[in-house]
Amino acid sequence: MAPPPYSSVADLDLLDRTGGETRSTAAVQVQVLQLFDACAPGLRRYVRSCGLPPEAAEDVVQEAFLALFRHLCRGGGTENLRGWLVQVCYRLALKQRARMAKRHQHEISLDGPCLEVVDPAADPESAVAGQQQQRRLRAVIHALPERDRQCLWMRAEGVTYRDIAATLDISLGAVAKAVGRAVVRLTNALKE
């Protein structure tokens, strides 16, 4: 979604035509702050629509305005700065998505050896029963809907319900229900 358009009168107020000369930092700072107030909410929504979470979208928008500040301080053009910002945000969002995807590749898999902890003092029968129980729990976790699984893992990591809701952009009640459903399913699997 593109940022909301603003009037041509506002364009004239916000965009000071300098003919390519290097501008003073104070003048650039005022211009960038005015553009930030006018365009940042729309840019955040646009970057979120590119598949980034709210925190990453905020970082991308901040980085884009920093790039704009540097561009204007060097005497860069002031034609269509809103379009320039959208383009920069798009490119930064793609880079951020690639970084996040790369980071997720290195996360621990549910099938990894970290979940196969065996008590060295247990007898063979208890060890086999423990392994079967772990397989059942792993199967239940895999069967959970993606949102329930995310909420469960975040809660297991000690993240508060409120922070989970903000991170996943869902209501507090939805987080509580998702964690509750997951816990009930895991408890039932342990009873079998």
Q: How far apart are CA 134 and CA 16, in angstroms?
A: 65
Q: Hunting for tokens 């965009």 — which residue is that?
A: 15
- Output the pTM of the full model: 0.46
pLDDT band for position 109 (50/70/90)? low
Q: Is the dihedral of CA 89, 95, 96, 101 positive or negative?
A: positive
How confident is the model at residue 3, as a pLDDT?
A: 41
Instruction: Note the CATH architecture for domain 8-105.
Output: Orthogonal Bundle (1.10)
Same CATH topology for 8-105 and 113-191: the answer is: no
Indicate the length of the chain as a whole number.
192
Choose between 110 and 96: higher pLDDT: 96
Q: Please give the helix or strand (H or E) that residue 27 lies within, else none.
A: helix 25-49
Q: How far apart are CA 75 and CA 32, in angstroms?
A: 13
Q: What percent of the chain has pLDDT over 70?
A: 79
Q: How far apart are CA 66 and CA 60, in angstroms?
A: 10
Q: Where are the domains of the chain?
A: 8-105, 113-191
How confident is the model at residue 121, as a pLDDT?
A: 63
How confident is the model at residue 118, as a pLDDT?
A: 53
Q: How far apart are CA 51 and CA 75, in angstroms?
A: 33
pLDDT in tens, 4-56: 433 333 333 344 444 444 568 888 899 899 999 999 999 999 898 888 999 99
Q: Is 59 exposed, middle or buried (0-12, 13-18, 19+ CB in 10 A)?
A: middle
Q: How far apart are CA 15 and CA 34, in angstroms?
A: 9
How confident is the model at residue 21, as a pLDDT?
A: 45
Q: Which fold has domain 113-191?
A: Arc Repressor Mutant, subunit A (1.10.10)
